[in-house]
Amino acid sequence: MALNKNNSEAATREQVKQEKKTREKRKRIRVRLIPIWLRIIVVVILLAASIVLGAMFGYAVMGGGEAKDIFEKSTWTHITDLVNKE
């Protein structure tokens, strides 16, 4: 009986190997709805928008200035002078 048990185990091992091979062959290729390059562009745009909106909020609400003033060079010159004050 021990011999039959080993043969049946060997047969099941072979069956398992065959099933794994057929599963690997049948794997579906995943098609992405949004391509990776478009995801990267969206992330960069969202990052830039959050930086601009954060600067506008900080300058207008916390700093007491006009929100549109962050787009002027004189504003940034003034901010860097304050930061690098010696």
User: Would you say residue 6 lies in a domain?
Assistant: no
Tell me what pLDDT residue 2 has.
47
User: How many separate domains does the chain show?
Assistant: 1
Tell me what pLDDT residue 12 has.
80
DSSP string, 31-84: PPSS-HHHHHHHHHHHHHHHHHHHHHHIIIIIT-S-GGGGGSHHHHHHHHHHHT
Tell me what pLDDT residue 48 has.
97
Report the predicted TM-score, pTM, of the whole model to 2 decimal places. 0.57
What the block records as the tokens of 84 is: 């690098």
User: Would you say residue 77 lies in a domain?
Assistant: yes
User: Would you say residue 62 lies in a domain?
Assistant: yes
How confident is the prediction along the chain (86 residues), in pLDDT tens digits per residue? 444 555 555 568 888 877 777 776 666 677 788 899 999 999 999 999 999 999 999 989 988 888 899 999 998 998 899 899 86
User: Would you say residue 86 lies in a domain?
Assistant: yes
- Domain encompassing residue 75: 52-86
DSSP label at residue 6: H
User: Would you say residue 3 lies in a domain?
Assistant: no
